[in-house]
Amino acid sequence: MTELDNPRPRTWSWHSPILRVVVSADRNGASLRYDVRLVGELDLASVGSLTDALEALRDERPELVVIDLSEMRFVDARGLSALVDIDRDLRAVGGSLVLARPDPHVRRVLTLTAVDTQIDVR
Amino acid sequence: MVRRRVRRWLEGHGWPEDPIDDVVLAVHEAVANVVDHAYPPGARGEVAISASLLPDGPHRRRAHVVVKDRGRWRPPPADPGYRGRGLQMVRGCMDVVDIRPGTDGRHGTKLTMLSAAVGTTPAGAGRHPRLRRLHHDLLDGVHRAQQRTRILACAARRLLGTVHRLTGWGLGPGAAPLRRENGTHHVQYVQYVRTL
């Protein structure tokens, strides 16, 4: 059975002690979209879970990746760099990244580091 | 983790939530900076954190945090990667930031931070109700001495706990022995974090 025969989203998740990454890949015709939920804290210790969870991204080249930040309580510089790298990789292949619903603290960090001028934050 | 300890310390002093977030992030980035950049890959390194509260007028206080290492200071690259962002975050979250690279091979970088002045709520003024009646300077002195000791011990324990969680090396949280040198707790952990 191919992807096209099965329209249900595929989901997978990665865990570290302080971060859960849940990815849902939804193919609609020729276009592929990733919805990612980050639950917990994205820092130098947990950033590997995010990069591991999105490893398939390089091969599958989704058009749109939406990362829901509403349950992410903390992000550090290393975590931000991972998000910037994902954005860069996606742009290189014509895709785009959206950071959705950051809480006020995370939004402030995105502003402080000007990451919100590089990545689409909604 | 250092940041949980810093958070609990400030919560115990009645700090509002947003200023706590700022101090926690700044301390985290300062320590992460040491982990990443003060020591060459594979080297054994140490970091010492000390924190205290300084009165700023009768009803306001500032958090004063010093993060020291014995490594070699390396200036951030022109392209602001995560290290540049880390220092941006430290500067954006604190009122005063002073970075002093060591002048010789034996002394590492000392990063001193002073938070914005925060008015603390009376309910959070201390855990010792009887002491509250005393002059606030005396209260500050007592808390400063207590907290300085506690935060060092807990920070070291949590760092080792993190290493244990990440690498399986060493002792689990709560069981880490501390090495005392000249009254300051040090913890050897950088080598193990670097190998991730």
ipTM confidence: 0.85
In whole angstroms, what is the distance from residue B6 CA to residue A40 CA? 18
Nearest residue of chain A to residue B33 (CA atoms): A77
Instruction: Give exposure, B67-76, as e/b (b: 16+ Cβ within 10 Å).
Output: bbbbbebeeb
CB contact under 8 A, A17 and B25: no
Q: Which one of A45, A81, A115 has the shortest CB-CB distance to B166?
A: A45
Q: Give the model confidence (pLDDT) of B52-75 as tens digits.
A: 888 888 888 999 999 988 776 666
Q: Which one of A44, A74, A113 has the shortest CB-CB distance to B88?
A: A113
Q: pLDDT class for B176, splitting at 50, 70, 90?
A: very low
HSE (side-chain half, CA atoms, 13 Å) at A90: 25
Nearest residue of chain B to residue A82 (CA atoms): B82
Q: Which of B82, B94, B97, B196 to mutate to test the interface with A (most CBs of A within 10 A)?
A: B82
Q: Are strands A96-100 and B47-55 parallel, antiparallel or unpaired?
A: unpaired
> Quick one: average pLDDT of B99-127?
73
In whole angstroms, what is the distance from residue A105 CA to residue A75 CA? 9
The position carrying tokens 């302080």 is: A18
Average pLDDT score, chain B:
70
Nearest to B189 by CA among B11, B35, B65, B3: B35
Predicted pLDDT of residue B182: 34
- What spatial distance separates the first Cα and last Cα of chain B, rounded to whole Å? 17
In whole angstroms, what is the distance from residue B3 CA to residue B145 CA? 20
Residues of chain B with pLDDT > 70, as a percent, come to: 48
Q: Give the model confidence (pLDDT) of B25-38 as tens digits.
A: 999 999 888 777 66
More confident residue, A83 or B130: A83
Instruction: Name the β-bridge partners of B91.
Output: none
DSSP string, B112-152: EEEPPPEEPPGGGS-S-GGGGGS-HHHHHHHHHHHHHHHHH
Question: Under CATH, what is the fold of the domain A10-121?
Answer: Transcription Regulator spoIIAA (3.30.750)
Query: For B2-194, which CATH superfamily applies?
Result: Histidine kinase-like ATPase, C-terminal domain (3.30.565.10)
Predicted pLDDT of residue B132: 44
**How is residue A118 written in tokens?**
């590089």
The position carrying tokens 């807990």 is: B154
CB contact under 8 A, A74 and B3: yes
B101 in helix, strand or coil? coil
Q: Which one of A45, A104, A109 has the shortest CB-CB distance to B162?
A: A45
Instruction: Please report, in tens digits, the pLDDT of each residue of chain A (122 residues total).
Output: 455 555 677 999 999 999 999 999 999 888 999 999 999 999 988 999 999 999 888 888 899 999 999 999 999 999 999 999 999 999 999 999 999 999 999 999 999 999 999 999 99
In whole angstroms, what is the distance from residue A96 CA to residue A92 CA? 9
CB contact under 8 A, A81 and B28: no
A95 in helix, strand or coil? coil
Predicted pLDDT of residue B190: 31
Contacts with A109 from chain B: Cβ below 8 Å: 25, 89
- Assess B104–A contact: CB distance below 8 Å, yes or no: no
Q: Is the confidence at residue B174, as pLDDT, over 60?
A: no
Cα dist from B171 to A19, A92, A117, B176, whole Å: 22, 44, 42, 6
Give domain limits for chain B.
2-194
Q: Which one of B18, B89, B196 has the shortest CB-CB distance to A77?
A: B89
Say which amino acid occupies B97: V
The position carrying tokens 């034996």 is: B106
In whole angstroms, what is the distance from residue B65 CA to residue B77 CA? 25
A35, A66 contact by CB (below 8 A): yes
CB contact under 8 A, B93 and A112: yes
- The dihedral through the CA atoms of A47, A52, A53, A58 has a sign that is positive
Q: Angle CA(A17)–CA(A19)–CA(A22) in degrees, nearest 5?
A: 125
Reported residue count of chain A is 122
Predicted pLDDT of residue B58: 81
Contacts with B3 from chain A: Cβ below 8 Å: 74
Predicted pLDDT of residue B194: 29
Predicted pLDDT of residue A38: 97
